[in-house]
Every structure is written in C-alpha cells, then in structure tokens.
Amino acid sequence: YVNPCMWLGSSASGCRPLQVDTPPRPALPADHGLNGSMHKTSSLAKLREAGHAAVYRAAGGNRELVGLWLFVLSTFFGTGMSLCAKLLARQGVPVFEVVLVRSLTLLAFTVPVLVRQKVNPFGDQRRWLYVLRGVLGFGSVSLLYYAVTLLTMADANVLAFLAPLWAALLSPLLLAEWPSSGLVVALPVSIFGVLLVAQPPWLFGLSEGTVSILGLAVGITQSLFSALAKMAVRALNTNTESMAAIIFSMGAVSTLCSAIAVTVLGQWMLPRTASALALLAANGLMGYGNQVTQTAALQRAKAAPAIAMSYLSVIWGLAADVLVFHDAPDWLSLLGAVIICGCSFAVAYWERLEKQRREARERTAAVLLGDEEAVQPLLDPRPAATATS
C-alpha cells in the first residue's frame, strides 16, 4: 500500500500532513536523573556521617572507661607511694632521702623519652615556669611525705583534697580565671570539715587533741603547694608543651632541692635492711606510675568523673590505716572527711558546669554571627583530649 499523498503532496485535496503520535516520555521517579542522584548522594553522606558519629561515640565511651580505670590505678599508686613513705619513716629513713629517690626515678624514666622525641626538657620559652613548677612539686611531695608521718593515711589524703579549693580561691589572682559561685558556700563548709578531722581541744572540750596540730598545718600547706603546682602546669598550657618535659622539670628540680636538703641537714642514711631498699624502690616506681596513669587518665576521661574517682584515695588510706597500722578513725573524722571530699567535688562540678554554660553561650553567639570556626566543634562528635600532670 502506497499513500497517494506522498506523491501528490500535502496540498492535494483530501491530503493532510502525516502526523506521528509520539508516546509521552514517562516521568522519572525522584531517585533518577540529576536531582535524584544528588538526593541519593546527600542521603548516603548523611548516613555515613551518622555512622561515623556512632563509631566515634562508641570509641569515646570505651576511651573514657579506660581513662576511669587508669585513674583508679593512679589513686592506688598515690596511696601506695604515701604508704611506703610512712613505713620508711618508721625505719628512720629521712623524708628528703625518700623524695630524692623518687625524683631520680622520674628522671630515669623521662630522659629516654625526651631523647627519643628530641624535646628540650625546659622548653624554648617561659623556662622560669618549669623551674617554678618543679619547686612547687618538690614542696608538695615533701610535705605530703612529712604529713603521713604525723597523721593517719586517711587524714593526710583528706587534707590534700583542699587543693581544688585553694586553686579556685587563687585563680582570679594568678590565672585571671574567676571561680564558680559555689566556692562561697564550699569554702566555709570545708573549713568545718577540717575542724572535724582535727578535733582541736578548745572546740571539742577534750584534754588533748586527737590530731597533731603540726601535722594538720603540714597537711593544709601541702594542699596549697599542690594547688599552686597544678596552676603552674595550667599556665604552661599542656596542650602545646611536652608532658615528658613537665615531668622531667619536676624530677630535675626535686632532685637538686632534695640533695641540697639532705646535705645541709645531714640526714643522708644508707638503707640497712632489704625491706628499706625494697620500699625505696617501690616508692619511686609508684611515684612514676602515679604521674603516668594520672596523665593518661585525664587525656581520656572527662574531668568530673575523673575527679570523682580521685576520692578513692581516701578509701585506700582508710584501708591502709586499719590493715597495716591498726588505726581506725572515729566517726567525727569520717564525717569531716566526707564533708571535705564533698565540697571539693562540688567545686569541681560547679566549675565544669559553668564552663559548659559559658562555652554554650559563646558558640550560640558564633552561630548567630556566622563564625564557622567556632561552630565546627559543635559538629565534630569526637571528644577533645585534655592533658595535665
């Protein structure tokens, strides 16, 4: 069959142009085409980011759990260090000799690390802060060892927890960091707790005090030195300074100061028994273990749970008093210990809470102003590492 219009043309009578009905193109679903591909890619990216966030959260949880266990180990090392010092004092070994052995142990472990990392042990700048931190650390450790010879282990550990209160009280003057309002309440309450631990005769109507006044003064002064040493570490900015260098500076300055003290006071005494040698070695190893585990713990765990774990040292001290020295505390001392520890934890918690609120306000302002660098920490699920000594 031949269509005549093909020969006669479309102008012929009865002929119309050939029209071909083209079927309509089916509409593509949303998942096809350019828009669909972009939508699919965006969805996959969101799923991938959500998966990464979940992995980071899981890893962060495990990391924090490891950090808390490391802090438990740190408190055990710290109490063991004080226990060795108390036992050595009963064998007649001078306090500064114990500090000297501990300081030499710190040097023995940190020097190879500094050589391998090629780090200047006293830094390139602010070397006076390294020296100051070493002097304060030497004073803190020496006073702690002296305090445990005058007080029970538990009382000496409890008085050491006055350090956060000292730090909060002195931060406005030395670091220009204003403490939380909770310090106004915690400070007088903690002083009441100290009175319960000390039980002075003029207040409790006793013929003589149950706690050495000299030991009480040494313990309070030790907490002050400990707070100042931690503030010096904070001034060094541990996020940029080598932790091995900070530990080395403390070991080097403590070695020098303790050697001078032993020489001037004429207190050098060679250990005569195997138990004294073993206690000296154990004290040095536990001192280094305390430094390393505490630093590693605070790099992994959040500050508030880590501080809560630090109060286990009071439990270890009570156990040592009862099991080793057969010295059980009375209920007033226990109440004072609970009050001091509670105030210290409350101050640390309030400081952390106010810091989070301040950062939230700053980030909210950054979002409103469109500051991408300040907004980025809100989008990153990975926990930030914190280093301290």
| Per-residue tens of pLDDT for the chain, all 389 residues | 444 444 444 444 455 554 545 555 555 444 445 455 544 455 555 545 545 444 444 445 577 778 778 888 988 999 999 999 999 999 889 999 999 999 999 899 988 888 888 877 766 566 777 788 889 989 999 999 999 999 888 888 888 878 877 877 887 777 676 666 676 777 788 778 887 877 766 666 665 556 778 888 999 999 999 888 877 776 765 555 567 777 788 889 999 999 999 999 887 887 888 999 999 999 999 988 988 887 777 667 665 566 666 777 888 888 888 889 888 778 888 888 888 888 877 777 776 777 777 778 777 777 676 655 555 555 544 444 433 44
In a domain, 308, yes or no: no
Instruction: Decide: 60 and 252 in contact? Cβ < 8 Å.
Output: no
| Dihedral pair phi/psi, residue 18, rounded to 5° | -70, 125
Number of domains in the chain: 1
DSSP designation for 26: P
User: What length does the chain have?
Assistant: 389
Q: Please give the single-letter amino acid code of residue 104.
A: L
In a domain, 197, yes or no: yes
CA distances from 360 to 56, 295, 357, 381, 386 (A): 21, 27, 5, 16, 19
Global pTM? 0.68
In a domain, 373, yes or no: no
pLDDT of residue 361: 78
For helices 163-174 and 213-235, angle between their N-to-C axes, nearest 10 degrees: 50
In a domain, 49, yes or no: no
Distance CA(222)–CA(146), nearest Å, equals 9
Instruction: Decide: 311 and 341 in contact? Cβ < 8 Å.
Output: yes
Full domain range(s) for residue 342: 94-276+326-358
Distance CA(306)–CA(303), nearest Å, equals 5
- The HSE-up count of residue 12 (CA atoms within 13 Å, CB side) is 9
- Residues 90, 314, 224, 124, CA torsion sign: positive
What is the end-to-end Cα distance of the chain in Å, rounded? 100
Mapping DSSP to helix (H, G, I), strand (E, B) and coil, where does residue 179 land? coil
Take residue 94 and report the two structure tokens written for it: 């001078």
In a domain, 234, yes or no: yes
Instruction: Decide: 306 and 67 in contact? Cβ < 8 Å.
Output: yes
CA distances from 335 to 212, 325, 341, 359 (A): 18, 21, 10, 36
- Spatial CA neighbour of 235 closest among 246, 250, 222, 220: 246
In a domain, 184, yes or no: yes
User: Is residue 66 packed enough to be buried (19+ CB in 10 Å), middle (13-18) or exposed (0-12)?
Assistant: middle
In a domain, 98, yes or no: yes
Helices (H), the chain: 5-8, 33-90, 95-117, 127-150, 153-160, 163-174, 182-198, 201-204, 213-235, 243-265, 274-300, 303-310, 312-323, 331-369, 372-379
| Dihedral pair phi/psi, residue 176, rounded to 5° | 55, 35
Distance CA(322)–CA(217), nearest Å, equals 24
pLDDT of residue 148: 92
Distance CA(371)–CA(201), nearest Å, equals 61
Q: Please give the single-letter amino acid code of residue 277.
A: L
In a domain, 178, yes or no: yes
- Spatial CA neighbour of 89 closest among 36, 38, 151: 151
Q: Looking up tokens 């302002």, which residue turns up?
A: 365
- Spatial CA neighbour of 226 closest among 172, 297, 167: 167
Mapping DSSP to helix (H, G, I), strand (E, B) and coil, where does residue 25 land? coil
Distance CA(67)–CA(214), nearest Å, equals 37
